[in-house]
Amino acid sequence: MATVELRFTPLPEHVRTARLVGAAMARRAGVADAALDEVRLAVGEACTRAVGLHQLHEVAEPVQVRLIEDEKQFSIEVVDEAPHAVPADIEAGTAGLPVTEDPEGEDEMGLAVISGLVDDVQVKTGESGGLIRMSWPTTTLA
Amino acid sequence: MDLSLSTHTVDDRTVVEVGGEIDVYTAPKLREQLVELVNDGNFHLVVDMENVDFLDSTGLGVLVGGLKRVRAHEGSLRLVCNQERILKIFRITGLTKVFPIHQSVDEAIAATD
């Protein structure tokens, strides 16, 4: 079960809230201070992507953010409910990013930023939605 | 924090001072500003990002869009940024090779290549 769960209407103005909550939880969980900017940026990118997908497919359901404290790591899962055109199951470090419908390529750029920032990231997409899971190691304070 | 924008001209360069957070919510304002400047005939832009606290891929997309617009008029778009956390985003996306990034507004204004 997620330690903290956040659901927000798929609107751009709420992404900042998710960033703030993500970074605050990461700090509390014991993620190194040097990595907090990365957490903030990565959760923002994942939520921006989810909001964009919901808007593109006119999905009114909320975007879901799960913040999970484990013994030695802190994870953030961002869940969208948009249908993805190309089902894919991508592990970080493998070649290629998914082809998307985003005409400006910002979605792909967001994934590129996440892949560049976070060592431990999984992207899963299916016909009924997608999930990005990102994890960071924590110190003994958790 | 919201986005703040102000512009002034130095010779043939237009300096856009940006402050605050550039994200999916605020980036459209920056896009509008850049489009308006180019439509008004300002093709040599310097975007001063020293007071930017946060930049995401949406902001990067807007800057790339601005660069495309000025290049269509044989113009230029130069960035001013010294903040490591902002520069890091340009590095991991490979955009340091696309944008000239300067240490100061004076340096960006003086640059010609």
Segment A40-57 shows an average pLDDT of 96
Number of domains in chain A: 1
Residues of B with CB under 8 A from a CB of A: 21, 23-25, 54, 56-58, 60-61, 65, 85, 89, 92-93
Which is nearest to A45 in space by CA: B31, B22, B52? B22
Number of domains in chain B: 1
Least confident of A18-22, A83-87, A108-112, B39-43: A83-87
Segment B76-82 shows an average pLDDT of 97
CA distance B56 to A125: 22
Measured in degrees and rounded to the nearest 5, phi and psi for residue A123 equal -120, 125
Instruction: Tally C-beta pairs within 8 A across A and B.
Output: 54
Within an 8 Å CB–CB cutoff, is residue A20 touching chain B?
Answer: no
Segment A31-47 shows an average pLDDT of 96
Helix (H) or strand (E) holding A96: none
pLDDT value, residue A140: 64
* Neighbour-count burial of B63, counting CB atoms closer than 10 A to its CB (0-12 exposed, 13-18 middle, 19+ buried): buried
CA distance A5 to A28: 15
Q: Smallest CA–CA separation between A31 and chain B, in Å?
A: 17
Q: Does residue A108 carry a pLDDT above 90? A: no
- Indicate yes or no: CB of B54 within 8 angstroms of CB of A40: yes
A61-66 contact pairs (CB < 8 A, 24+): A61/A10, A62/A7, A62/A8, A62/A9, A62/A10, A63/A7, A63/A8, A63/A10, A63/A14, A63/A18, A64/A5, A64/A6, A64/A7, A65/A5, A65/A6, A65/A7, A65/A8, A65/A18, A65/A21, A65/A22, A66/A2, A66/A4, A66/A5, A66/A6
- Indicate yes or no: CB of A109 within 8 angstroms of CB of B57: yes
Q: Which of A113, A114, A115, A119 should we substitute to test contact with B (largest number of B Cβ atoms within 10 Å)?
A: A113
User: Is residue A26 in a domain?
Assistant: yes
pLDDT value, residue A98: 42
Any alpha helices (H) in A12-82, and if so which ranges?
15-29, 33-56
- Indicate yes or no: CB of A116 within 8 angstroms of CB of B23: no
Q: Does residue A37 carry a pLDDT above 70? A: yes
User: Is residue A77 in a domain?
Assistant: yes
For residue range A79-94, list pLDDT tens digits in order. Answer: 999 987 654 444 444 4
Where in the sequence is the domain holding B70, given as residue range(s)?
A: 3-110
Where in the sequence is the domain holding A104, given as residue range(s)?
A: 4-137
Which CATH number does the domain housing residue B69 bear?
Answer: 3.30.750.24
Which CATH number does the domain housing residue A37 bear?
Answer: 3.30.565.10
User: Is residue A142 in a domain?
Assistant: no
- Facing B85 at nearest CB: one of A37, A51, A106: A37
Q: What is the DSSP letter of A31?
A: B
Contacts B25 to A, Cβ<8 Å: 12-13, 15-16
Q: Smallest CA–CA separation between A117 and chain B, in Å?
A: 8
Q: What is the DSSP letter of B95?
A: G
Q: Smallest CA–CA separation between A33 and chain B, in Å?
A: 13
For residue range B14-52, list pLDDT tens digits in order. Answer: 999 999 999 999 999 999 999 999 999 999 999 999 999
User: Is residue A88 in a domain?
Assistant: yes
